[in-house]
Amino acid sequence: MTSALLEEILARLDVVVLERLPDGVFLRVGSAPPPAWFSDVMRTAGESRPITVGEALPFVGQFLHEAENFWREGPEERLRSDPFVAATAGGADVGLVASAVVIGQRQFLIIELSRDFDERRRALQSARENVLEHDAHVRRTGALLAPIGAAQKLVQQLADSGLTPAQGQLADDLRTQLAAVSEAVDSLAPLPKGVSRAQRR
Protein backbone atom coordinates (compact mmCIF):
# COMPACT_ATOMS: atom_id res chain seq x y z
CA MET A 1 0.00 0.00 0.00
CA THR A 2 1.41 3.38 -1.03
CA SER A 3 1.89 6.23 1.42
CA ALA A 4 -0.50 8.44 -0.59
CA LEU A 5 -3.23 5.79 -0.46
CA LEU A 6 -2.77 5.30 3.27
CA GLU A 7 -3.05 9.06 3.82
CA GLU A 8 -6.24 9.12 1.76
CA ILE A 9 -7.73 6.31 3.84
CA LEU A 10 -6.89 8.12 7.09
CA ALA A 11 -8.44 11.32 5.76
CA ARG A 12 -11.62 9.46 4.75
CA LEU A 13 -11.80 7.99 8.26
CA ASP A 14 -11.38 11.49 9.77
CA VAL A 15 -8.19 10.38 11.53
CA VAL A 16 -5.14 12.57 12.18
CA VAL A 17 -1.78 11.08 13.16
CA LEU A 18 0.79 13.21 14.99
CA GLU A 19 4.29 11.98 15.77
CA ARG A 20 5.90 13.08 19.02
CA LEU A 21 9.45 14.15 18.28
CA PRO A 22 12.33 13.82 20.80
CA ASP A 23 12.13 17.51 21.69
CA GLY A 24 8.50 17.10 22.77
CA VAL A 25 6.76 18.77 19.84
CA PHE A 26 4.36 17.08 17.44
CA LEU A 27 4.51 16.78 13.67
CA ARG A 28 1.49 15.76 11.64
CA VAL A 29 2.28 12.68 9.64
CA GLY A 30 1.71 13.01 5.89
CA SER A 31 1.33 15.89 3.48
CA ALA A 32 -2.22 15.24 2.24
CA PRO A 33 -4.88 17.74 3.36
CA PRO A 34 -6.16 16.86 6.84
CA PRO A 35 -9.82 16.25 7.63
CA ALA A 36 -11.98 19.38 7.67
CA TRP A 37 -12.60 19.18 11.41
CA PHE A 38 -8.85 19.19 12.08
CA SER A 39 -8.31 22.30 9.98
CA ASP A 40 -11.18 24.00 11.77
CA VAL A 41 -10.23 23.03 15.32
CA MET A 42 -6.46 23.16 14.93
CA ARG A 43 -6.22 26.57 13.30
CA THR A 44 -2.68 27.06 14.53
CA ALA A 45 -1.44 23.77 13.09
CA GLY A 46 0.84 24.08 10.08
CA GLU A 47 0.64 21.80 7.09
CA SER A 48 4.01 20.11 7.69
CA ARG A 49 5.71 21.91 10.55
CA PRO A 50 6.19 20.94 14.19
CA ILE A 51 3.43 22.19 16.46
CA THR A 52 3.44 22.43 20.23
CA VAL A 53 0.76 20.85 22.37
CA GLY A 54 -0.09 24.27 23.82
CA GLU A 55 -0.67 25.70 20.36
CA ALA A 56 -2.78 22.98 18.81
CA LEU A 57 -3.94 20.50 21.42
CA PRO A 58 -5.05 22.33 24.58
CA PHE A 59 -8.11 20.06 24.93
CA VAL A 60 -6.04 16.87 25.34
CA GLY A 61 -3.65 18.25 27.93
CA GLN A 62 -4.81 15.91 30.67
CA PHE A 63 -4.58 12.88 28.41
CA LEU A 64 -1.05 13.82 27.37
CA HIS A 65 0.13 13.46 30.98
CA GLU A 66 -0.99 9.83 30.84
CA ALA A 67 0.43 9.46 27.33
CA GLU A 68 3.89 10.65 28.44
CA ASN A 69 4.08 7.78 30.96
CA PHE A 70 2.76 5.38 28.37
CA TRP A 71 5.34 6.47 25.80
CA ARG A 72 8.19 6.20 28.31
CA GLU A 73 7.23 2.61 29.15
CA GLY A 74 7.10 1.84 25.44
CA PRO A 75 4.48 -0.95 25.30
CA GLU A 76 3.45 -1.87 21.79
CA GLU A 77 -0.25 -1.39 22.40
CA ARG A 78 -2.73 1.50 22.59
CA LEU A 79 -3.75 4.00 25.27
CA ARG A 80 -7.15 5.47 24.46
CA SER A 81 -8.73 8.57 26.00
CA ASP A 82 -12.32 9.11 26.96
CA PRO A 83 -14.32 11.11 24.39
CA PHE A 84 -13.86 14.86 24.76
CA VAL A 85 -15.25 17.94 23.08
CA ALA A 86 -13.49 20.64 21.06
CA ALA A 87 -15.07 23.79 19.65
CA THR A 88 -14.73 24.73 16.01
CA ALA A 89 -14.18 28.26 14.73
CA GLY A 90 -17.92 28.48 14.12
CA GLY A 91 -18.74 27.54 17.71
CA ALA A 92 -19.92 24.00 16.98
CA ASP A 93 -18.87 21.11 19.22
CA VAL A 94 -16.82 18.25 17.81
CA GLY A 95 -16.50 14.98 19.71
CA LEU A 96 -12.98 13.55 19.56
CA VAL A 97 -11.00 10.61 20.91
CA ALA A 98 -7.21 10.56 21.34
CA SER A 99 -4.92 7.53 21.37
CA ALA A 100 -1.25 7.14 22.24
CA VAL A 101 0.61 4.50 20.26
CA VAL A 102 4.22 3.27 20.24
CA ILE A 103 5.60 1.65 17.09
CA GLY A 104 9.21 0.61 17.46
CA GLN A 105 10.94 3.64 18.92
CA ARG A 106 8.45 6.10 17.49
CA GLN A 107 5.64 7.69 19.51
CA PHE A 108 2.34 8.74 17.95
CA LEU A 109 -0.74 10.66 19.03
CA ILE A 110 -3.82 9.73 17.01
CA ILE A 111 -6.93 11.91 17.07
CA GLU A 112 -10.21 10.82 15.53
CA LEU A 113 -13.85 11.77 15.54
CA SER A 114 -15.95 10.10 18.22
CA ARG A 115 -18.52 8.34 16.07
CA ASP A 116 -21.10 8.03 18.82
CA PHE A 117 -20.62 11.59 20.13
CA ASP A 118 -23.94 12.89 18.80
CA GLU A 119 -25.74 9.77 19.98
CA ARG A 120 -24.26 10.10 23.49
CA ARG A 121 -25.07 13.79 23.62
CA ARG A 122 -28.68 13.10 22.60
CA ALA A 123 -28.93 10.35 25.23
CA LEU A 124 -27.56 12.66 27.95
CA GLN A 125 -29.88 15.46 26.87
CA SER A 126 -32.84 13.08 26.90
CA ALA A 127 -31.87 11.85 30.38
CA ARG A 128 -31.61 15.42 31.67
CA GLU A 129 -35.00 16.28 30.17
CA ASN A 130 -36.55 13.19 31.75
CA VAL A 131 -35.18 14.16 35.17
CA LEU A 132 -36.50 17.70 34.81
CA GLU A 133 -39.90 16.44 33.70
CA HIS A 134 -40.06 13.98 36.59
CA ASP A 135 -39.17 16.72 39.08
CA ALA A 136 -41.85 18.97 37.60
CA HIS A 137 -44.36 16.11 37.81
CA VAL A 138 -43.46 15.53 41.46
CA ARG A 139 -44.01 19.22 42.19
CA ARG A 140 -47.37 19.17 40.42
CA THR A 141 -48.59 16.14 42.33
CA GLY A 142 -47.26 17.65 45.55
CA ALA A 143 -49.28 20.77 44.83
CA LEU A 144 -52.39 18.58 44.46
CA LEU A 145 -51.72 16.76 47.73
CA ALA A 146 -51.52 19.98 49.76
CA PRO A 147 -55.22 20.95 49.39
CA ILE A 148 -56.26 17.31 49.80
CA GLY A 149 -54.41 17.21 53.12
CA ALA A 150 -56.06 20.46 54.17
CA ALA A 151 -59.47 19.03 53.30
CA GLN A 152 -58.73 15.91 55.36
CA LYS A 153 -57.94 18.07 58.39
CA LEU A 154 -61.18 20.01 57.93
CA VAL A 155 -63.19 16.79 57.72
CA GLN A 156 -61.54 15.57 60.93
CA GLN A 157 -62.37 18.85 62.68
CA LEU A 158 -65.94 18.49 61.46
CA ALA A 159 -66.14 14.91 62.75
CA ASP A 160 -64.90 16.06 66.16
CA SER A 161 -67.49 18.84 66.42
CA GLY A 162 -70.33 16.62 67.64
CA LEU A 163 -72.21 15.40 64.57
CA THR A 164 -75.30 13.29 64.41
CA PRO A 165 -74.76 9.61 63.52
CA ALA A 166 -75.81 10.29 59.93
CA GLN A 167 -73.48 13.29 59.66
CA GLY A 168 -70.67 11.28 61.26
CA GLN A 169 -71.12 8.59 58.61
CA LEU A 170 -70.87 11.24 55.90
CA ALA A 171 -67.65 12.53 57.48
CA ASP A 172 -66.24 8.98 57.52
CA ASP A 173 -67.17 8.56 53.86
CA LEU A 174 -65.44 11.86 53.03
CA ARG A 175 -62.28 10.75 54.86
CA THR A 176 -62.29 7.48 52.92
CA GLN A 177 -62.71 9.22 49.57
CA LEU A 178 -60.06 11.85 50.34
CA ALA A 179 -57.61 9.14 51.42
CA ALA A 180 -58.23 7.28 48.15
CA VAL A 181 -57.67 10.46 46.11
CA SER A 182 -54.48 11.24 48.07
CA GLU A 183 -53.14 7.73 47.49
CA ALA A 184 -53.97 7.89 43.77
CA VAL A 185 -52.25 11.26 43.32
CA ASP A 186 -49.21 10.16 45.33
CA SER A 187 -48.82 7.03 43.17
CA LEU A 188 -48.52 9.17 40.02
CA ALA A 189 -45.00 10.29 40.99
CA PRO A 190 -43.56 8.22 43.84
CA LEU A 191 -40.53 9.75 45.54
CA PRO A 192 -37.22 7.96 46.14
CA LYS A 193 -37.00 6.24 49.51
CA GLY A 194 -36.08 8.67 52.28
CA VAL A 195 -37.01 11.81 50.30
CA SER A 196 -40.01 13.88 51.30
CA ARG A 197 -41.99 16.14 49.04
CA ALA A 198 -40.87 19.11 51.11
CA GLN A 199 -37.27 18.31 50.13
CA ARG A 200 -38.12 18.29 46.41
CA ARG A 201 -39.94 21.65 46.36
Interior/surface letters 37-60, b for 16+ CB within 10 angstroms, e for the rest: bbebbbeebeeeebbebeebbebb
55 pLDDT band, cuts 50/70/90, is low
> What pLDDT sits at residue 162?
82
Over residues 107-119, the mean pLDDT reads: 79
The identity of residue 52, as a single letter, is: T
Is the pLDDT at 194 greater than 60, yes or no? no
Interval 129-133 mean pLDDT: 76
Q: Of 79-83, 117-121, 161-165, 179-183, which range is least confident?
A: 117-121
Q: Examine the pLDDT at 81 and tell me if it is beyond 50.
A: yes
Give the C-alpha distances (Å, rounded to integers) separating 25 from 40, 99, 100, 101: 20, 16, 14, 16
Position 151 pLDDT exceeds 50 = yes
What CA–CA distance (Å, rounded) separates 153 from 171? 11
167 or 59, which is more confident = 167
The H or E element containing residue 177 is helix 165-188
Is residue 117 scored above 70 in pLDDT?
no
| Sequence-distant (≥ 6) Cβ neighbours of residue 121 within 8 angstroms | 93, 95
Rounded to an integer, what distance in angstroms lies between the CA atom of residue 67 and that of residue 10?
22
83-100 per-position pLDDT tens digit? 887 777 677 778 888 999
pLDDT of residue 44: 46
Distance in angstroms (rounded) separating the CA atoms of residues 109 and 95: 16
Q: At what angle do helices 117-159 and 165-188 cross, to 10 degrees?
A: 170
Given CA atoms 181, 182, 187, 189 in this order, what sign does their dihedral have? positive
Residue 123: the pLDDT is 59
pLDDT at 65: 83
Residue of higher predicted confidence among 116 and 106: 106
Percent of the chain whose pLDDT exceeds 70: 74
Give a three-class secondary structure readout of 121-133. Answer: HHHHHHHHHHHHH
Assigned CATH for 3-115? 3.30.450
**What letter represents residue 45's amino acid?**
A
Across all residues in the chain, what is the average pLDDT? Answer: 76
